Every structure is written in C-alpha cells, then in structure tokens.
Amino acid sequence: MQLVIADTGVISRRLMGNKEIIEAFDFVGNERIVITAITKIELFNWVNGYKSKLGEKAFKMLIAEINRFPTIHIDRKVSSIAVELSQRYFTKLGDLLIASIAIQNGLEVFTLNQKDFKTIKGVNIYMPPNYSEIKKIL
C-alpha cells in the first residue's frame, strides 16, 4: 500500500468539508493519507488563529481530527536532503521540508500548489482522478 503525503492546503480543505477533496481522499483511500510534522504544525497554527471564532468544542474537534492523521517526522536524512535541495531550489521552507520527506520515503505529494513542488527533482505529485474539479476551487 503506497502512502500519499497530503500538504497543508489539502488537509485544511478536507477539514472544512470540501466535497472535491473528500472525493479525492475516498479515491486514494483515507488509510493511505499521511501528513508531515511540518503540515501538522501549519495546521495547528491555522486552527489556533480561528480559536476564538470556532469555540472550544469545534477547536478541540479540529485538533483531534488533525491528530488522527499518521505523521512522518523530520530525521537526519531528511535534514540532509533539505540542506542539499536548498542549495539548488528557491522555495518556502515548509515545502522544502515536505519535499525532502517525500524524496526520503519515496512518496507522492498531494498538493494544491503544484508549482511549489514540481520543479524539485525527485518529487512526484499525486493527481487524483478529479483533479480538474479540484483546480476549479483554487
């Protein structure tokens, strides 16, 4: 069973109940979706930014939902790959680390920001069958 890394934009829209993203998850299989520690941190920051608007119950529910996703962490090898990539590519730190984790683990990345990843050699983008519908929401 090949796992797929979902980045922050994908997971945040899944948490908001976006129909197209939910369909993509159903196609891939929810059990195959993983996130990185970077994505988890970004999602926690996002949820914390809306804590007062969400209310305590919804806030705790979102935190629990985020914590349900299996998480791949940064290790020495990922750090080494990220340092190497940073010498060749200009991209955001979070995306660079996600790309490094994908390369290290041989996993595809499901992202709504393909331009951030497609130029990085060794990163494969996951494209669900309904990607043309997903693009319409961007």
pLDDT in tens, the chain (138 residues): 699 999 999 999 999 999 999 999 998 888 999 999 999 999 999 998 877 788 888 889 999 999 999 999 999 999 999 899 888 878 788 889 999 999 999 999 999 988 888 888 999 999 998 888 888 776
> Residue 8, SS3?
helix
pLDDT at 101: 96
| Residues in Cβ contact with 115 at an 8 Å cutoff, skipping those fewer than 6 apart | none
Domains (range + CATH), the chain? 4-135 (3.40.50.1010)
pLDDT at 5: 97
pLDDT score for 76: 95
Report the alpha-carbon distance of residue 126 to residue 33 in Å, rounded. 11
Q: What's residue 1's pLDDT?
A: 67
Beta-carbon count within 10 A of 23 CB:
15
DSSP 82-124: HHHHHTT----HHHHHHHHHHHHHT-EEE-S-GGGTTTSTT-E
pTM of the model as a whole: 0.90
CB 45 within 8 A of CB 63: no
Task: Determine the pLDDT at residue 11.
Answer: 95
